[in-house]
Structures are given as C-alpha cells and as structure tokens.
Amino acid sequence: MPHCCTRQVFRCFKWLERAGDKLTGAAGPVFVTLAVILLSVGVFCFFEVIRPTLPLPWVTTPVCILFALNLFAHYYYVCTVSPGYVDEPPSEAGTGYLWAQKREAGRGRQPEGVRWSEDVQVTRAATSKCRKCGEQRPERSHHCRICGRCVLKYDHHCPVRINQCVGIHNERHFVLFMVYLVISTFCFVLFGWKQVIFALGWFEDPWPYYSPQMAFLLTFILSVVLCIAVAAMAGWHLYMVASGETSVETQDHEQYRKIARQRGENFINSYDLGWRKNLQLFFNVGPDGYPLYTLLVPLRIESYTDGRAWARRAGFEHHLGVRPGEELTDEDED
C-alpha cells in the first residue's frame, strides 16, 4: 500500500511538471517579447541618462555601443539559431557579413565534420537509439521532452528566456549573452547610482530626461537583481564549460563518480582536456579556430565539431570508471 501511494504521488508530480512545461512552452514567445522590451528600455535609459555623464566620451561611447550590440545580437542568435537537432543535416558556415572568417591555419580541416587541431584527439561518437523518438543519436545528445526531439550536446531547454533548447549550435551565444548581460547591468548600477538619487527627487531641479523617473528607477532595481542572479548563472556555466561538461552531464557525472567510488575506482571525464583547451574548443578560438576578436564582435562562427565526433583526452575512447550499461538514459533523468 505505501509503495502504491508513493507511485501515485510521483506520477502526480510528473503530470504537474509536464503541464508546467506545456504552459511555459506556449507562453515562450510572450516571455521573449517581454525580454526584448526590457532590454530595449534598459539600453535607452542608459544611453540617454547615464552615458552623457561618463568621462572620455570618444572612448566610452563606442565601447558602450559595442556592448549593446553584443547584448542584442547574442540574444537574437540564441533565440533564432537552431540548437542542433539530430534529425537535421550538419550545418555549414555561412558566407555573409555576419559570419567571421576562420584563421588560415584552421581552414580546410574538417575530417568527418569536425574542426580540430593537431594536438587534439577526435574520435567518432558512439550512437544509440532514442527510446522516445526512435532517432539514432550520437553520444552527448539527449531527448527534449518539450520539443519532442533529440538535441546534439543538449544542455537544457529554456522556455522562459529563449523559448527553445540550448545545444551545440547556440550554446556559445547563450553563454556570451549572459556574460554581456552581467557586464551591462553592472555598468548600469556602477555608473547610474547618482542619477537614482536625482530621480528620487532629492534635488529641486526638474528631471531633464525623456525616460520617466519611475522607469529609470525600476530599471536600476532590475539591473541589480539581474546582475547578481545572472552572474551566478554565467559563472556556473563557465565552470561547466571549463570542466568539459554540460548541465545534464554535470548531474550524470556526479552519479558516475558515486558508482565508481563504490567499486574503488575513479571516474575520469574523457571530454575534459583541461580548462584552457575546453574554453578554446567551446568558443572555437585559438590557432586552429577563429580569432579572439569574435568574443568581442557579435559574429556567427561554426562549432569546432558537428556533434557527431568529440575531442577526448589522449588514450581515452570513453569515460574511465563507467562500464557498458551504466550510462544514464533520458528515462533515468526524467
């Protein structure tokens, strides 16, 4: 009897969870529209109220414009670029003005859909059949229960902020958007506190700006909250990137460590090449990738891989400490 009741409660929570997924998924476009409006209001308030007070305007103004371009561009990319579905053909680099040019040393190196360098060992990904959609998918892919499709290097589904999954083709834009949002809100708070005192009416002089005082004050408060919250989130994602993991893999690897410890073994993540190389591969910069200026200029670039092969530690073809049959599936994670 207790076991039956526990199972019914578990099913009830699962039903509520899926109902919440459908609700937030349906409201996704509304959340994205609201985010665009809030970003636009924040940028307008900054350039009208705060930017004129900054020193050296011939230096600070171009920098502020560059940050604003990165903020909007990476949000646009993360919302519109496909995360990389398993059933889609491999993507190719574009030739338009929004695409960065790869370094000469890295051009033409594309063995089996993989961008790589001489010091990185790349092996083809093992494949398995998804029990939910029936697709043959490479490792690091997971089934999104909201989209109903398997995503290459699935990180998570984000219904509130971007209304789609974060995967191999838009994960870089997701992280850079968070980084530039933290920088932008930090600058708003750092350089805007004097205008907050003015907006509170502590001086007799009238408010001389088009931006309403209440809108500026609310934007300042929101900037404080977002700066703290998104900084924590961005820091955690950068830590996972530096560890060669996604959000899903971080949870999986913790379970693998427990299993390996019980056998007196150590778990080693075969995707972890060291923090420096992990960051280079994630952002695809370096001698065999794209120039470092692609981190400062909002241009599109290719991922170092098509998601069907992965860079690994030398001598590793799979994780150490995990035996066949112990890999977690989407059913286990649900």
CA distance 173 to 72: 11
Handedness of CA 65, 66, 68, 69 (dihedral sign): positive
pLDDT in tens, 161-189: 788 999 999 999 999 999 999 999 999 99
Instruction: Find the mean pLDDT for residues 74-102.
Output: 88
CA distance 251 to 226: 25
Q: Are 268 and 320 in contact (CB under 8 A)?
A: yes
Residue 90's pLDDT band (cuts 50, 70, 90) = confident
CA distance 72 to 222: 18
- Model pLDDT, residue 84: 93
Q: How open is the CA angle 204-210-216, to the nearest 5 degrees?
A: 75
Instruction: Find the mean pLDDT for residues 318-330.
Output: 75
Quote the pTM value. Answer: 0.88
CA distance 211 to 95: 40
Q: Are 125 and 310 in contact (CB under 8 A)?
A: yes
Q: Is the pLDDT of residue 287 over 50?
A: yes
Instruction: Find the mean pLDDT for residues 191-203.
Output: 87
- Model pLDDT, residue 106: 52
Q: Is the pLDDT of residue 94 over 80?
A: no
Instruction: Find the mean pLDDT for residues 244-268.
Output: 90
- Model pLDDT, residue 93: 75
- Model pLDDT, residue 8: 53
Q: Is the pLDDT of residue 27 over 70?
A: no
Going by C-alpha positions, the residue among 174, 105, 111, 34 that lies closest to residue 311 is 111
Alpha-carbon torsion angle 272, 276, 280, 283, nearest 10 = 90
Q: Is the pLDDT of residue 256 over 80?
A: yes
pLDDT in tens, 266-286: 999 999 999 999 999 999 998
Handedness of CA 97, 99, 102, 107 (dihedral sign): negative
Q: How open is the CA angle 106-107-109, to the nearest 5 degrees?
A: 75
pLDDT in tens, 107-151: 555 544 444 455 678 889 988 899 888 899 999 999 998 888 999
- Model pLDDT, residue 107: 56
- Model pLDDT, residue 312: 92
Strand partners, 72: none
